[in-house]
Amino acid sequence: MGTQYPEPDPHHAPGLGPGDGVPPEETPQGEGSTGAETGPRDKQTRGWAKGPAIALGILVVLCAAFFIAYAVTVAL
């Protein structure tokens, strides 16, 4: 991942015509893929927000209580 490839020399690149133009049937050279804005952003949060985590916890407790109550009434 640490290998850096040098930029191609525009004077020896294939497909370039006179005046540094690219013929219509040729694909132009790509740009460098690494720049100053690559990588993760500065502020990244991890995990869930408190609201959705609490709502999911309440839902799980209610479902568990329902199935426990159902099992108790069926067993009687």
56 in any annotated domain:
yes
- Please give the C-alpha separations between residue 58 and each of 12, 25, 26, 63, 71, in angstroms, as whole numbers: 67, 62, 61, 9, 20
Number of domains in the chain: 1
67 in any annotated domain:
yes
* Kind plus residue range of the DSSP H or E element containing 56: helix 50-75
**Which pair of structure tokens corresponds to residue 55?**
């709502």
Identify the band that residue 54 occupies on the pLDDT scale cut at 50, 70 and 90: very high
User: For 47, which DSSP code?
Assistant: S
Tens digits of residue pLDDT in 7-30: 666 666 555 556 666 666 666 556
Domain that residue 66 falls in: 48-75
User: For 32, which DSSP code?
Assistant: P
Higher-scoring residue by pLDDT: 2, 48: 48
71 in any annotated domain:
yes
Q: Tell if the pTM clears 0.75, that is, is over it.
A: no
